[in-house]
Structure 1
Amino acid sequence: MYEIIQLIIVGILIISSYGFHFIQHDSLIFLFSALWCGYSFIKAIYLSIRSRFIDADAFMGLGILGTIFISEYMAGTIIGFLVLISRLVEDFTTEKSKTAIQNLIKAAPKTAQVIKDGQEIETEIEHVNLKDIVIVRNGEKIPVDGRIINGSGSVNQATITGESVPVEKNINDTVYAGTIVDSGFLQIETERVGRDSTFGKIVRLIEEAQSSKAPVQKVADVFTNYFTPIVLMLVLITFLITRNFRIAITVLVVACPCAVALATPLAFVAAIGKASRKGILIKGGIYLENLSKTKTIVFDKTGTLTLGEPKVIEIKQYGTHNQSEIIECAAIAEKFSGHPLSKAILGKAAELNISVPDPKNFQVVKGKGVIAECFDRKIILGSRDLLKDEKINFPAEINDYMEKLELDGKTPLIVAHDGDICGVITVSDVIRPNARETMFKLKEMGIKRLIMLTGDNERTGRAIGELLGIDEVYADMLPEEKVEQIKSFLSKDDKIVMVGDGVNDAPALTQADVGIAMGAAGTDVAIESSNIALMGDDLSKIPEAVLLGKRTFRTIKQNITLGMTFNIIGMGLAATGILSPMAAAVAHVLPDFLVFLNSSKLFK
């Protein structure tokens, strides 16, 4: 507000000065205006001397003092006046780019309806505790992260996932603070509140991201740091050659590298703000820069390229065992494994109303399967390699049958009981509807290598890879092997992007130049381990993020080129006496406005 008042008063003084021209007071008015507009910049000279570092503000202060020294008071006033306008435009541009954060902050209600002692009480959000039961009705915002314990409804999660299509929520489903109940009634048990909620983490990380620096920004800073003393030397040389203070000061006025200093931060702030509105949480400008340079994107299969919800689609019987007995054996073996395929097995057992007792001596054989004991029976569930290790022979008929399934992209699991094969359970995961389209878009954008890592066998992995247009498939991979594989891809000539579910793939994500976590809403591990978190499960956000990275980096290069070009041309014109101090003042601010306009394109 002070700057606006200052601009208005100085503007009035500039206009009024023409009324005093004939009574010889205009120079006094311009001198006063120059000193007032330039006070903060002149003060920066003193601070720069103390810190032994000349920043853009100190540079401006030198320019204003220089115009006063050569009695070009009007030029000094115009410099201060136009720079103040450019600062206001910069503030406006920055604030506009932070609208997404402000909207997120406004989205979180300040109070919650909490049930205490059987009564519904309006409680300030900072006084809501874990396990408190919160009531949310039709049209209200959800104030906490939690689990629905009663009721159901349609919830708009746009503030978290970027998707405006409401999601149906029922008992035991998770809901997030800042989202809206479009219709329904919910009783929610609080699990996270305030800054610990998914919403709170998103706001904090976006704020941190917008203040971080990428390598390209550091290059701009280095340029500015070296350019400043060079300009001062050129000003001195100009004076020594021309013996003209007016020309030397004009060079100083036009040469300040403000536009170069603004080139990177404005673009990054705008891009990160735009991404957050689409449910893409980018933790810093460096990751946008790396996205713009990548030629290789690595995908995990399960939960990323597929829905991560495998189903039992076939049970092949061998010997005297029926389907229920085969599923029972498999479910016993998988009960404590936690493997994604275990959900399919246990789900099928529940569907058939099979009671699954706890196994004894449960053992996970990494990358091969599980071994368990129950009622003095030894149960083996897994791959052919596991059966070979356990010295269980299987006929060629079973081998041929499994190979056919694998070529179709399915996963067959052998069930053995007391040394004999009793059946083969076929599990299949559904490929995401837009997976193939996403791969095609990435290829169109210049991505040279699309790679898939999977714990599946090679035949299954290659079948899915060919279906999606994947260039390279690495199969039979353990989690630690995925980490090593990512390390092997890293090079100076490429930036490796890894896309995973953020939980199972957290170690691999941290090794990549850019780790992107799918479906990170509500998952601390996903948000913390990734560099970019997609709040939803939409694969099409990957090309969007890559495109935004390319657009941002292109905008930054344009901004830097604009700033440097204007500086060099302006200095040349000033040194030859073509530019007057007044024209130099205008020429100094012009590239700043062009940088603002160019960066604002990223909002669209």
Structure 2
Amino acid sequence: MQRGQALNSMVNILHRTPGRLRLRLDIPLTASVRAHIERELREQLHINRLQWYSTTRTLVVYFKPHQTEALLLYFKQLDKDAIREAYQTEVEEPPQTAYETIRRAVVNRLFYKTLVPQPLRYLNMLYAGAKYLTKAYQDLRQGALTVEVLDATAITVSLLRGEFETASSIHFLLTLSDQLEANTLRASYHHLKDSLALSIDRVWKQEADEFVEVAADTVKAGDIIQVYKGHLLPFDGLIQKGNGAINEASLTGEAFPVHKHVGDEVYANTVLEEGELHIQVTRVQSETAIAKLVDLITQSESLKSSDEKLLEVTANRLVKFNFLGLGLTYALTRNIEKALSFLLVDFSCALRLIGPLNYLTAMKDAADEGVVIKGSKFIENFDAIDTFVFDKTGTLTTSLPEVAKVVPLNGYEQDEVIRIGACLEEHFYHPIADAMVRLAEERNIEHEEMHNDINYIVAHGIESSIDGKRVVIGSKHFIVDDEQVALSPAAQKVIDAYETDYNLLYLAYDNQLIGIFCIDALVRPDAQETLAGLQALGKRIILLTGDQANRAEAFAKQIGIQFDEVYAEVLPEEKYAVIQQEQEAGHRVAMIGDGINDSAALSLADIGLVLKETSDLARQVSDIIIYSDRLTDMFTLIALSRQLTERLRKSQAFILGFNGGLIGAGLVNLLSSNTIAFLHNFSTFAMAFISLRPFGSKEERALVLT
């Protein structure tokens, strides 16, 4: 196929070589259209490397030679209706990479200097200088000698001396620094928004006199939906019926629930911890309160690390020495060229660049490994964590436990016990609940709803009624101690036989124990390696579990780890108390959990981590999400934290030493002011590109941990 050949009315081949295809697309390449094409190429042909040039409507695709015919066929059959639908759908632009930001800035500057006449560029620089002066004046009025004052002075003096290019270069570097810092925060925002994104596909919507399950994206304002205890609220709305306790940690940061009644407003991405609600939807999608919260976060500095802030403070503190050097040099030598060395080398450009660039690189490296970090401060602080607190179920064990045995009692059939158990458990997120439902599906046991209103009691179990008689499922403590269900000799024999090897789930109906489920929670393949590795690094490890003490001890023996502390039969508030106790003892604590039971502890911990399969609330209150589902990626985080700290230390030392040397060279007339300005700018760019280098392979990170 030759250059310039049309595949269809929308796509023309501009150039083709083995493994590379350049196309012109006669369609508007909006973010949504590009995302549509990228998604289809990724899913259908496993092509991930594309380069867009939206202004010229061209696309370069890189592929393997054997994919050539399939790729050409895809573009030849490009669906006009799908493109039109994508065009009408708004898609948020993902944050630019730092390389892309710098590349665009450099290209734009070259075009600007080449195409814009010098008089216009001079006027534009005067306008920019006026803005710097305005900001400097505001700072001085408040008694603050900031970097902005130094920048304004350097630009103004350069313009007054007719050194237009020097002023323009300073302005360019400062603007680029601001863009890169904004990009770092935007990346944090992007990860945060992704982690808070609704994971609900189906909801219960009122139609006539009953609630039916429908796709979440079909719900409109004014519809009535039903939400059960333990579930995420998918939309903002008003309570029409029922009362409940709602955890609003994702909005307010408060880990404990707020009681809501008929007429109260409720918000998307909060979790119903107690009760059952009928809610009239008032807002959907981007109108929800959670979307507004994310917007607020982007305007704050809550995601910045202390090192990032320290670099800014250091840059400001050094300003007075620049002015002091300027004044003393001129007073002693009466040589303005020497004195101006202190303005041309201001330290701040590079210091302000290296923070956001290095954190952006670290967060990208982590994301490439399947780990999402919601803010730079969490990667900075990770190596300082000295105590790791692990929930057991779904964290150290797999998120997919299995029902190994079902023992029916008191004359009930096994299938009937499974039917009742699955009918109760299907309404709630928990790995064991999922295992119950899977078992019923595998055995083709239908479990249509036969119960009345259902109530989930955190860390205990579920209660409801069938045919007017009470039915409960949950822990032994809940069934035997709280519900006062008697254990027959046959039941006690089953418990004695299996309670050491399995987690036991008890089902009682009409105050009789009718079945025991033996749950086998397999240990994660990397759990032992992770725990042993953390101990080898001098970290304390603590186990929290709702299991009985003998099960907790058996688990520790099975995994071959001597925990520093083991807490068995803990309730959610007790998990919170353990974290609080450790912090009060002076420890920096990371909590690794997965369920609603863990949300308060995750929120309180210095850093909260969750794995891929986790509850909505746990995902919201966490600081780091390990989508790779590998516990060993905690070593990636520790290594990145160490590498980041070391790189920032070396970069700061180089910036201070190199730029200090330039000032010294100017004072003894070794270098001219133009050479000093060039070397200063060159070193700033060099530090920027060094900051963009990945932190190394897994093997290199492993060396950091030795």
TM-score, with normalisation over the residues of structure 1? 0.65
Given candidates 457, 462, 469, the residue that maps to 2:548 is: 457
Deviation of residue 451 (structure 1)?
2.8
| Compared CA separation, residues 248 and 500, structure 1 to 2 (3 A) | same
Contact 2:602 2:618 in 1 (8 A): no
Match of 1:124 in 2: none
Match of 2:523 in 1: 431
- 1:298-333 C-alpha deviation (Å, 9 max, x unpaired): 232223333333332124577x64663993697399
1:324 aligns with 2:417: no
Superposed, 1:147-162 pairs within 5 Å as none
Deviation of residue 226 (structure 1)?
2.0
Given candidates 70, 74, 79, the residue that maps to 2:166 is: 79
1:592 aligns with 2:680: no
Deviation of residue 209 (structure 1)?
9.2
1:245 aligns with 2:245: no
Given candidates 362, 365, 370, the residue that maps to 1:271 is: 362
SS at match of 1:476: coil
Amino acid at match of 1:412: L
Contact 2:394 2:431 in 1 (8 A): no
Equivalents in 1 of 2:190, 2:481: separation in Å?
Answer: 60
- 1:133-159 C-alpha deviation (Å, 9 max, x unpaired): xxxxxxxxxxxx99xxxxxxxxxxxxx
1:484 aligns with 2:577: yes
Match of 1:582 in 2: 674
Contact 1:332 1:357 in 2 (8 A): no
Deviation of residue 48 (structure 1)?
0.4
Instruction: For structure 2, list consecutive stretches of 5 or more residues without a partner in the other structure.
Output: 1-103, 194-216, 222-233, 236-282, 697-706
Superposed, 1:110-125 pairs within 5 Å as none
Equivalents in 1 of 2:181, 2:150: separation in Å?
Answer: 23
SS at match of 2:309: helix
SS at match of 1:299: strand
SS at match of 2:340: helix
Deviation of residue 234 (structure 1)?
2.9
Deviation of residue 403 (structure 1)?
6.2
Match of 1:47 in 2: 135
The percent of aligned pairs where both chains have the same amino acid is: 24
Contact 1:209 1:283 in 2 (8 A): no
SS at match of 2:382: helix
Match of 1:229 in 2: 320
| Compared CA separation, residues 43 and 437, structure 1 to 2 (3 A) | same
The structure with more radius of gyration: 1
Equivalents in 1 of 2:485, 2:297: separation in Å?
Answer: 55
Contact 1:210 1:284 in 2 (8 A): no
SS at match of 1:430: coil
Deviation of residue 287 (structure 1)?
1.6
Equivalents in 2 of 1:12, 1:334: separation in Å?
Answer: 71
- 1:239-287 C-alpha deviation (Å, 9 max, x unpaired): 3344433322223322442211222122223333454455533222122
Higher relative contact order (CA 8 A, sep 6+): 1
Match of 1:217 in 2: 308
Instruction: For structure 1, list consecutive stretches of 5 or more residues without a partner in the other structure.
Output: 14-28, 106-127, 133-144, 147-191
SS at match of 1:452: strand
Deviation of residue 290 (structure 1)?
2.0
Deviation of residue 91 (structure 1)?
8.1
Deviation of residue 36 (structure 1)?
7.6
Equivalents in 1 of 2:123, 2:332: separation in Å?
Answer: 30
Contact 1:304 1:518 in 2 (8 A): yes
SS at match of 1:602: coil
TM-score, with normalisation over the residues of structure 2? 0.57
- 1:433-465 C-alpha deviation (Å, 9 max, x unpaired): 443344455556x36123332212222233334
Contact 1:414 1:421 in 2 (8 A): yes
| Compared CA separation, residues 478 and 568, structure 1 to 2 (3 A) | same
Equivalents in 2 of 1:206, 1:329: separation in Å?
Answer: 46
Q: CA RMSD in A?
A: 5.4
- 1:347-406 C-alpha deviation (Å, 9 max, x unpaired): 55673848788568988776556677767688786326853563846769947x746745
Equivalents in 2 of 1:90, 1:496: separation in Å?
Answer: 34
Given candidates 303, 322, 326, the residue that maps to 2:394 is: 303
Amino acid at match of 2:649: K
Amino acid at match of 1:513: D
Equivalents in 1 of 2:672, 2:386: separation in Å?
Answer: 49
Match of 1:25 in 2: none
Q: How many residue pairs get matched?
A: 504
Amino acid at match of 1:308: S
Deviation of residue 222 (structure 1)?
1.6
Deviation of residue 476 (structure 1)?
0.8
Equivalents in 2 of 1:249, 1:226: separation in Å?
Answer: 19
Equivalents in 2 of 1:365, 1:10: separation in Å?
Answer: 68
| Compared CA separation, residues 85 and 252, structure 1 to 2 (3 A) | closer
| Compared CA separation, residues 317 and 517, structure 1 to 2 (3 A) | closer
Superposed, 1:495-514 pairs within 5 Å as 495-501=588-594, 503-514=596-607
Superposed, 1:92-103 pairs within 5 Å as none
Deviation of residue 196 (structure 1)?
7.4
| Compared CA separation, residues 208 and 525, structure 1 to 2 (3 A) | farther
Amino acid at match of 1:563: I
- 1:54-93 C-alpha deviation (Å, 9 max, x unpaired): 5545424433555677x6x6xx456335446646875897
Contact 2:396 2:524 in 1 (8 A): yes
| Compared CA separation, residues 397 and 213, structure 1 to 2 (3 A) | closer
Amino acid at match of 1:49: Y
1:382 aligns with 2:475: yes
| Compared CA separation, residues 269 and 9, structure 1 to 2 (3 A) | closer
Equivalents in 2 of 1:525, 1:365: separation in Å?
Answer: 16
SS at match of 2:137: helix
Equivalents in 2 of 1:80, 1:352: separation in Å?
Answer: 76
Contact 1:314 1:427 in 2 (8 A): yes
Contact 1:497 1:514 in 2 (8 A): yes
SS at match of 1:601: coil
SS at match of 2:153: helix
Deviation of residue 600 (structure 1)?
0.5
| Compared CA separation, residues 45 and 541, structure 1 to 2 (3 A) | same
Contact 1:78 1:585 in 2 (8 A): no
Equivalents in 1 of 2:526, 2:131: separation in Å?
Answer: 58
SS at match of 1:246: helix
SS at match of 1:63: helix
Equivalents in 2 of 1:8, 1:388: separation in Å?
Answer: 78
Superposed, 1:54-65 pairs within 5 Å as 54-56=145-147, 58-65=149-156
- 1:420-439 C-alpha deviation (Å, 9 max, x unpaired): 77764321223334433444
Equivalents in 2 of 1:463, 1:424: separation in Å?
Answer: 20
Contact 1:44 1:61 in 2 (8 A): yes
Equivalents in 1 of 2:347, 2:447: separation in Å?
Answer: 77
Match of 2:612 in 1: 519
Amino acid at match of 1:449: R
Equivalents in 1 of 2:108, 2:446: separation in Å?
Answer: 78
